[in-house]
Copies of this chain bind each other. A is one copy, B any other.
């Protein structure tokens, strides 16, 4: 079991977008450069976020990506689902329906093993769904300190973001 590293990239990218004034965005190259990531691959993950409706994409000059809804309405689970998919990671193959006792398993009822894994995944999902991007962005901003926030602001302005005063 392993989680695509793109999930981390996408989560950080969303946290950055959440730190901008509402409605403002950044293009894929800027979001990639902020964390020194491969631009082409970062772009691909942003496309996935776009397709999932987490961010809106604007094409053409001065285009880019912005959060499609308030950061308090975007969870880490949304992001993982957008990048890695939301199908359960445990896929029952119903092997209990094979072999000498094949006919003696109750129909319609999933086997206890499948149930247990489904419950565990639900617990995982619920916990991730409880973490909002707005919380993440606030914690990150707090950790950076005032000087860090100023550096971020300057960087964003150099990429076309205008902070209202």
Q: How far is the CA of A36 from the CA of B65 in the complex (A)?
A: 51
- Verify if A11 is at the interface (C-beta below 8 Å from B): yes
Binary CB contact string for chain A from 69 to 105 against chain B (1 if under 8 A, 0 otherwise): 0000000100010001100011111011011110111
Q: How far is the CA of A119 from the CA of B111 in the complex (A)?
A: 27
- Verify if A109 is at the interface (C-beta below 8 Å from B): yes
- Flag if B101 contacts A8 (CB, 8 Å): no
- Flag if A104 contacts B144 (CB, 8 Å): yes
Q: How far is the CA of A15 from the CA of B96 in the complex (A)?
A: 11
**Contact with A136, one of B7, B93, B103, B113 (Cβ below 8 angstroms):** B113
A5 in contact with B121 given A96-B35, A99-B36, A100-B34 (CB within 8 Å): no
Segment at the interface with B among A44-52, A55-63, A122-130:
A122-130
**Contact with A8, one of B2, B11, B93, B127 (Cβ below 8 angstroms):** B93
Q: How far is the CA of A106 from the CA of B151 in the complex (A)?
A: 15
Q: Which are the 3 A-B pairs with shortest beta-carbon distances?
A: A104-B148, A120-B127, A36-B98
